[in-house]
Copies of this chain bind each other. A is one copy, B any other.
Amino acid sequence: MAQRRELMKGSIDSLLLCLIGQRPMYGYQIITELEGRSQGYFRFKEGTLYPALHRLERMGLIESAWQTLSRGRHRKYYHITEKGLRSLVEKRSEWQQFLAAMSLIIQPTTDEMG
């Protein structure tokens, strides 16, 4: 069942903005953080995450800054922008509306069947 993959579409940006909106994070950390917070449900592949981060940065919703740890070790931290914060509010609202519409249809129909 590859339905989960499809369900992701349109939600990933909201998830990323949500996390980064709480505190600056780097890519690899986002993957483990998402898996932890969702109790194992979200397991982002790198090929999913990094392009998504680049897209968000291109759109000006997040910004990045390299941070060096020890010699040669480095991480790219992302933080949310003003525009990103506004977008996050909007995306949460979009999600709520979608949720409401879905639940109007998807209900378990305990008494409908002929």
Give Cα distance in the complex from A14 to B11, angstroms.
17
Return chain B residues, CB-CB under 8 Å to A109: 18, 21-22
How many A residues face the partner with a CB closer than 8 A?
43
Return chain B residues, CB-CB under 8 Å to A94: 1, 3-4, 7
* Number of copies of this kind of chain in the complex: 2
Q: Are B98 and A7 in contact (CB under 8 A)?
A: yes
A82 to chain B, nearest CB (A): 13
Q: Are A39 and B104 in contact (CB under 8 A)?
A: yes
A6 to chain B, nearest CB (A): 3
**Contact of A45 with B by CB under 8 A:** no
Q: Are B39 and A101 in contact (CB under 8 A)?
A: yes
Give Cα distance in the complex from A106 to B99, angstroms.
12
A19 to chain B, nearest CB (A): 7
Chain B residue with minimal CB distance to A98?
A: B7
6 chain-A/chain-B pairs, Cβ below 8 angstroms: A3-B91, A3-B94, A6-B11, A39-B104, A41-B97, A41-B100
